[in-house]
Amino acid sequence: MPTTDKITDAVAEYARRLKAGDPARIAALYAEDATVEDPAGSAVRKGREAIAAFYAELDGLALTAELLTVRASGDTAAFHLRVVTTTDEFVSSIEPIDVMTFDEQGRITSMRAIWSPADVVHRRRSDQ
């Protein structure tokens, strides 16, 4: 079982790399055969290559990621995350609760993001 500190460090690093936006570096936090289900209930992506392709969808978006609440116990972390993306026209904010499991080395073995379209807020930039 990874330590709680190892898990919370990995979550903080995940948020940093999500913000930095390099898909390969985000995928490198995952174990080789890890799974991503975002949102929960959608198709499961398996393996680092598929996971990097998933994060590549964020490429080119101006994005911030802020951890609101992090909890860890056993091999699991659950955290409330605020992701804000900005395009020419819109500022979109989504605050999922993500659930991750970890291996002994602190690599992510699974991620499920719990959110629905009702949890996304879009604002036109001209409204700011």
Interface residues with a second copy (CB under 8 A)?
Answer: 1, 4, 37, 39-42, 69, 71-80, 95-97, 99, 112-116, 118-119
Rounded to the nearest whole angstrom, what is the least distance from the CB of residue 8 to a second copy in the complex? 9
Residue of 5, 9, 14, 59 marked active site = 14
Which tokens belong to 36?
A: 């991503």
Please say which residue, 56 or 120, places its beta carbon nearer to a second copy: 120
Is 55 noted as a catalytic residue in this protein? no
81 burial (CB, 10 Å; 0-12 / 13-18 / 19+) is buried
Is 14 noted as a catalytic residue in this protein? yes
Please say which residue, 8 or 22, places its beta carbon nearer to a second copy: 8
Contact indicator for 105, 30 with CB cutoff of 8 Å: no
Rg of the chain taking only CA atoms, in angstroms: 15
Residue of 22, 33, 38, 103 marked active site = 38
Please say which residue, 96 or 106, places its beta carbon nearer to a second copy: 96
Q: How far is CA 111 from CA 4, 30, 51, in A?
A: 17, 9, 10
- Catalytic residue ranges: 14, 38
